[in-house]
Structure 1
């Protein structure tokens, strides 16, 4: 950005994969078999799900404490994915308060369903369902299906050998130091309630599974029903997650676990691979799952990956090298930029679901964000895709009202962030907000500017530095103690760090932003 081209887009050719090319190759020159092993959803997209509906592939993933809840993506080739809204664009349904986890997409008779996990307000984790006439929605919520005392998560619908639909889920026993049974129970004709009695399929009884098994999903092959599932610790710096598989002739068992479990585990590029959905496409088989990049780990979060598997002579699925074959993301090709010149704010922007969706407005090439007095204020965030990056936003500092701040922040959640903010009358401050408590790290006065750009730089997800510019060419660092700030503590156990614009102050004011960008660095 010192050279004035910080916001210049990074481009690279888009490669489209087409299986028909194999069949069109010259008789004596066979085209190489194309690899679909790739990062389909770079950034923080845990517990991904996939389904083929009306000729297209649809995907979603855990959104945790960020809205819109359960982002939707569409693809025609498993390679190029486009945002397509979210299941709950205005936040969780009224009965739920947090933990928007593990959506599972399902289609039957032209109707789309999302089976998902959320926590009852003041209560336990529960599996619920929403439905729509189209996979893109709008979705109508039908509320919880099961809420066991220890919690119920990771619901997945599956047909049994007689064509009857069941819900399979995990009892969250590890939350209270108990085993984690995988249960099955019939769904009613409307697919919105459970009927009959629940039946245990199996539980965590293998050493590699540790304290849990979870994330069940299914595929049929060779007369067996196969369940892909995850075991051990899912998240954070010390995760031990991996993928296993079990099979049975009938849904209610008996279930046989693969003797080679875990069948998908760590390598030098990816770690803690798990919680995925298998799918068959053009005679090939894939698991859409998550894993941490070794280069960015918890600072970016669990990324959505497609891994191909084959069927062995023993009838078990196998992944090459028992590990993720997707190459490391090309971080320089993954960047974010928004000039706020569209009619609506893009689906990629997120907001904390503990607060109502911000009533933002796009007008005259500016994003107008209403202020909030809570903690870091109103936050609108984008996922990061690398642990080393520069991020910047441009705002009109001359229009800030007294007691109002606008700026940019690296955010773990609404209670934890590092921010560079501008206030009225040319006040510039660096903030550290940890556990909801604000500490001012530095403060200077500058000449107010209608085009003030605030920048944060991050190295390895851990060290941060702040700077500002009034001409987008020359930069002045904000001198915090030691010049860099430690941000190791930022990511929550189950989420990556996001970069947000913020508007802090008493309700009734707004901050005008004209540009935002994140550019990854090596």
Structure 2
């Protein structure tokens, strides 16, 4: 990991999400340094943030990548350390995929994660897990609500009388229906809903399109404020924006701001929305996701911090929609490449795998040893990318010893059915693509009998890829296919995820591939 903050543990402090905080203090006399966005570079959709003591904690959607829900901490909202995951090893027993919108919240010495997932044999549900400290370990308490069309984006909030409620969205847009935002009383142990749900508001404004979602609430002065997202979330045709509504009582009536949306796309950041509100030294911020106009869906929805102020009429006003910053490596403190030598006993926390097919792997003698899988996508481990233009490489050991019917190598990974890879095995190097589960070979050559082969991919604009290999430790490179024409990888990313660069191994489970290193070098 790069740019890590010192390890710390802070005493419990009340959360703005489940208590009624006092009026914000006046801004400090000194002006804070400009924010360099993204503060969470890479694929961090639907980020949430809350503060415990003097430390901010955040999480974000992982969808169908495991481990599930990152746990990040920061002292300043700008520099973040990935310290673990809510579900690091196993899926919750009741769920199978679409792990979305984790909302982190602190109260009475406990940490709560309200999250969305798809119920096995059912639909999308809002569930909750808890821990005695933010780092975990977490105990899952299962679903709280799962309506017929699905329920997503849970958020906890206490009303004007201190009664705890769960706020969520009914996923009506999945069935071409409206998308009500509901509130229902939540038991103090967070294990069940009480009474009947009450609708707060729904998508009834033109700019909101077919949905409103991702509600984050704060209480300021006499009002509850609901920041929410509207319209289409994802892909380069997205139309997402951010709106706000307010009410003097949690259950309403709710009034939407006449000047909504309060935040839309600008020259750099596209489709901003679905975040949570936080404060720093008297300043107000929304930590939300947005696409950078260079990387779009290939890098993913990145974590952006946008400041706002309150108008005399009591509405939020974002200070500068032209949010500063350019894509970068995963720290504002360093421009170094990500380099993993696979030392130690555990894989780095940034590595991910498909939740549908977690691979078997181990670190031994400075090597990553990945057990093959016989399915078309093989066993895959992916690393998030941070820019649309990057180079990734890996050294595969004993490649010439991989038998016929087995192969291992370097890949651009969309999901288990969409891959672009250069692999070695059975005496040959092969460039191939997997698109919607169908495999096609794009180039092939004889693999020399050498102790190791280094494989490289170069991405341009997130979707154009060139592959090459070296048999002398990277001194000389040979393109595959010959001519080095770029390969179109536009098909790779699913609608809600970015591309990963990583390694894979295909073939019978008796085969293990050994990787000596992995390097990811992003270009701003």
**TM-score relative to the length of structure 2:** 0.91
Deviations 1:439-461 (A, max 9, x none): 11111102132221001111112
Matches within 5 A, 1:49-448: 49-321=48-320, 323-330=321-328, 333=335, 335-355=337-357, 357-396=358-397, 397-425=399-427, 427-448=428-449
Partner of 1:21: none
Q: 1:98-128 CA deviation, whole Å, 9 max, x = no partner?
A: 1100000011111111000001112111100
Matches of 2:210 and 2:276, distance apart in 1:
22
Cα displacement (A) at 1:326: 3.2
Change (3 A) 1:50 1:398: same
Structure 1 segments, 4+ long, off by >6 Å, are 11-14
Residue 45 (structure 2) aligns with: 46
Shift of 1:488: 1.1
| 1:19 match | none
Q: Return the alpha-carbon distance in structure 1 between the equivalents of residues 245 and 402 of structure 2.
A: 59
Distance in 2, matches of 1:479 and 1:360, equals 30
For the 8 Å contact 1:57–1:74, the answer to whether it is kept is yes
TM-score by length of 1: 0.92
Is the contact made by 2:76 and 2:280 (CA closer than 8 Å) also made in structure 1?
no
1-side partners of 2:466 and 2:417: how far apart? Answer: 20
Rounded to whole Å, the distance in 1 between the matches of 2:184 and 2:328 is 43
2: CA distance, partners of 1:196 / 1:142: 19
CA RMSD in angstroms comes to: 1.9
- Aligned counterpart, 1:460: 461
Is this contact kept in 2: 1:242–1:272, CA < 8 A? yes
SS, match of residue 175 in structure 1? helix
Alpha-carbon shift at residue 91 of structure 1 (Å): 3.5
User: d(CA) in 2 for partners of 1:205 and 1:333?
Assistant: 45
Cα offsets for 1:430-488 (capped at 9, x unmatched): 01100111111111102132221001111112221110001211101112687221111
Q: Secondary structure at 1:38's aligned position in 2? A: coil
Q: Show CA shifts across 1:348-375 (max 9, x none).
A: 00000002x3331111110011110112
Q: Deviations over 1:385-428 (max 9, x none)?
A: 11111111111114423322110111111100110000033x10
- SS of the aligned residue for 2:232 comes to coil
Gaps of 5+ in 2: 6-28
1:154–1:370: structure 2 CA closer, same or farther, 3 Å change rule? Answer: same
Give per-residue Cα distances to partners, 1:293-324, cap 9 Å, x unaligned.
Answer: 01111111100111111111111011124x25
Contact 1:264–1:324, Cα closer than 8 Å, also in 2:
no
Give the distance between the partners of 1:154 and 1:480, measured in 2 at CA: 48
- Distance of aligned partners of 1:362 and 1:219 in 2 relative to their CA distance in 1, 3 Å threshold: same
The residue that corresponds to 1:5 in the other structure is: none
User: Structure 1 residue aligned with 2:507, among 466, 490, 505?
Assistant: 505
Report the secondary structure of 1:236's partner residue: coil
Unaligned stretches of 5+ in structure 1? 1-8, 15-29
